[in-house]
Structure formats: structure tokens, C-alpha cells
Amino acid sequence: MRRFNIQESDAIRLRHILDAADAIERFLANRSREDFERDDLFFWGIVKLIENAGEAAVN
């Protein structure tokens, strides 16, 4: 069986991506699209989490 050697920095980046995804999932639970469109704080919070995941993916 082939094993992949993940460097510590890659593991940290992956953890940041997964943490952002988990937070997005929690924030979206029991919320409607209308909530997302009406609530600026909610909207920008989700946007920031997506940005964080994207930054972790490319760095």
C-alpha cells in the first residue's frame, strides 16, 4: 500500500480548510437563503470563511 507523506505545513493548511468548511456548515444550518441575503454580517462572515479556505488552499 502506498503512503503519502504529508508535511506539517500541508496538514495545517488542510486543517484550516476543514475548519472553515465546518464553520460554514454550522452557520448555514437552519438558515434560509433569505437570511443570507438580508443579513450583512451573516453574508460577510460566510464570505470571509470561504476566503480563508481559498487562501489556505493556494499558500
Residue 2 confidence (pLDDT): 61
> Which amino acid is located at 48 in the chain?
K
pTM of the model: 0.78
Which of 22, 24, 54, 19 has the alpha carbon at shortest distance from 36? 24
* Burial class of residue 8 (count of CB atoms within 10 Å of its CB; 0-12, 13-18, 19+): exposed
Non-local CB neighbours of 27 within 8 Å, separated by 6+ positions: 42, 45, 46, 49
The mean pLDDT value of the chain amounts to: 90
37-51 per-position pLDDT tens digit: 999 999 999 999 999
Could you tell me the residue ranges of all domains in the chain? 31-59
Please state, in angstroms and rounded to a whole number, the distance separating the CA atoms of residues 8 and 13: 9
